[in-house]
Amino acid sequence: MNELPVDILVNKDNLLPSDYYPKDLVITDQNENNFHEFQDPRLKPMIRRDIYPFAQKMIEDAKKEGIEFIIDSGYRSYNYQQKVLDKLIAELGDVAYQKAALPGASEHQTGLAFDIAYYRNGVFDDDVKEEDKEAIWLANNSYKYGFILRYPKGKEEITGFQFEPWHFRFVGLELAKELFSEGITLDEYYARKENGTLKR
């Protein structure tokens, strides 16, 4: 399979094949990828190489403004996503389906999405809250670097997921700006596209 376009819609209605793997991934840093017990500590957070410069610039520019965050969970394989979901189902029951994507429905498999975390006083912290200055900065500025807050507050019925102030997705500079300025999700953008109501 060829590399996915950066504006691809991935959700429960648009699944990736189980064998899809981004061709060129780059490790973003040396943290342990995420902080869950099921995870392999040898795994490092990775995203597609072609979007890495955009993420790096965003992180650097934020740091100049006193905003510091790291890329926590990046690429996840189809099988790894199943482990994530299985653990949450064991802990939460059916609520898990609102918190984690089905295998094939996870944007993490594209290599275009990541969750953020903090590194403070030598400790990793992935408890990202809406009111955190980092989350606020990203929600208001990530589009300048081609990223969007993928699962925003108030759009849960549209995206199928709870509000996730930590999850960002690369869609390209032009589309990110359009989605931000119109206050719509990627799902809504595709719905308009299918209905022929786009302004383009």
Summarize pLDDT for 135-158 with one digit per residue, the tens: 999 999 999 999 999 999 999 999
The CA dihedral of 151, 153, 158, 161, to the nearest 10 degrees, is 50
Each residue's pLDDT tens digit, 113-135: 999 998 777 777 889 999 999 99
Distance CA 66, CA 44 (A): 25
Spell out the domains of the chain, with CATH numbers in brackets.
25-195 (3.30.1380.10)
- Catalytic hit among 107, 134, 164, 178: 164
**In whole angstroms, how far apart are CA 120 and each of 68, 81, 117, 125, 191?**
9, 27, 10, 7, 40
**In terms of C-beta density within 10 A (0-12 exposed, 13-18 middle, 19 or more buried), how is residue 93 classed?**
exposed
pLDDT > 70 fraction of the chain, expressed in percent and rounded? 91
Which residues does residue 116 pair with via DSSP β-bridges, in sequence order? 71
Closest CA to 127 of 166, 163, 75, 87: 166
Q: Is 164 a catalytic residue?
A: yes
